[in-house]
Each structure stands twice: as C-alpha cells, then as structure tokens.
Amino acid sequence: MKNAFLASMLMLLIVPMMEVGCQNTESAGAKPLDIEVSPATLKTAEWADFKYNEILAKAATGDFKAIQQFLEFHSIVDGSDALGHGVSCLELIPVAGDFQVARVIQTLKPNLRKLLSERLVLAQGRTKKTELQKPLQEWAPDVWAALNGKPLPVVPDSIAVGSGLNKGKEAVNGPAAPPADSTAAPAANPSQISPTVPAPPKDAAAPNKPAPPQPQPAQKPKQ
C-alpha cells in the first residue's frame, strides 16, 4: 500500500517536470540558432508582451510583417537592451536576406531609421561574427542604401511569393512587358538586307561646268 502511494506521488512530481521540459524545448526550437539573443532584451520583451523569439523566428524566413515588427521594437528598448537587440537585428540581415530587410527599412519612419542605423554600427563592435564586422556596404549593400535614403536595385526574381515583398515588385521594376505576338512576321536578318543608296533630290541643281571656248574670227593676211 505504501509502495503504491509512493509511486503515485512520484508520478505527480515527474509529470509537471516533463511538461516544463517540453515547453523549454519548444521555445528553444523556435529561436533561430544562427542569431544571438540577449537575455536582458528577452526580459524587456516579456515585460512589453512582445513575443521576441517567435517573431524573430518568423522574421528569419523573410516574412515582411515579422521583420517590420522586429525592427520597430527598437522604439521600446534602450541602453544595454537596445544594444543586444541591435546585435540580433544585425545578425538577422544575412539570414532573412539583404534585400528583404532593406525593403522593410524603407517603410520605417525617418527617426526610427536613423536610430536603427546608429545601433547597427554599435552592434558591429559586439557581434562575434567577424564577417559582419566589415563595413555594411560590403556585405549588405541594399540595407546600407535603405538606411541612407538611396534607391534599391531591381527587385530580384528569387523573392519568395509568400514573403509579401513581391507586392512592390512592379512599383520598382515597372509593369511587365506584354507577351510577344506569335503571329507577327519575324524580323528580317540585318545581314540579309542590302544597303540602299539614297537618290539625289529631284530639284538639285546640276553642277556648274565651264563654258566651251568661243571660236575667234579668222584674220586676213596683210598685203
């Protein structure tokens, strides 16, 4: 009887611990492994009811709205929390895509865009990834252009349809050209066309020719 009672008590203690372990595993799995996240920033996010890891995981896939939410979190954090968030944003760029992040930056308010630019520079001195410590213009030229108010290049065709970025493709590239008419006659080969010499105009004046010499009258011999 005592053994059965002890076994039931042990089960009551083990089951909650298993549930907590599963929850920790799920939250850890939602966090991208290639992006550093500051514990202090997570505490601020929890206080602000901001699902930091969940939004970051979605932003890492290139989702437009998630990237926008993640970057706009800079308006909430300050101090060391802001620096930690800056590192996460910096390391998000190569994961989500340079062009995708740049398109989101274009939608930010000027003050927030300036704040983001300053914090990304500070984050370059803290990130452990040496390739991200190089000038931003070298490895993320689109983000650099967006931060400095410069136009972005032509939208690449490799943008995912579900990312939401393809909606602005026509606005950047212009409307797509209509399909070619298959019934139209093929264009002539320039090598098979004989050059034509333009005819002189009809009213062109004839070139001036010198007048022929007039015959002189014969002189009579002197007597």
- Digit-coded pLDDT (tens) for 102-133: 999 999 999 999 999 999 999 999 999 999 99
Distant-in-sequence, close-in-space partners of 22: CB < 8 Å, separation ≥ 6 = none
Mean pLDDT comparison of 19-28, 33-42, 142-151, 181-190, highest-scoring range:
142-151
Answer with the residue of higher pLDDT: 115 or 20: 115
Sequence-separated contacts (24+) of 45-53 with Cβ below 8 Å: 45/73, 48/76, 50/76, 53/27
pLDDT tens-place string over residues 126-153: 999 999 999 999 999 999 999 999 999 8
The residue written with tokens 């505490």 in the block is 43
Query: Which of 97-101, 129-133, 209-213 has the lowest average pLDDT?
Result: 209-213
Query: Which pLDDT belongs to residue 209?
Result: 56
Sequence-separated contacts (24+) of 119-123 with Cβ below 8 Å: 119/74, 119/82, 119/83, 119/85, 119/86, 119/89, 120/86, 120/89, 120/90, 120/147, 122/83, 122/86, 123/83, 123/86, 123/87, 123/89, 123/90
Query: Which pLDDT belongs to residue 153?
Result: 83
Using the predicted structure, report yes or no on whether residue 183 has a pLDDT greater than 90.
Answer: no
Answer with the residue of higher pLDDT: 166 or 149: 149
Answer with the residue of higher pLDDT: 196 or 62: 62
Whole-model pTM: value is 0.59
Using the predicted structure, report yes or no on whether residue 186 has a pLDDT greater than 70.
Answer: no
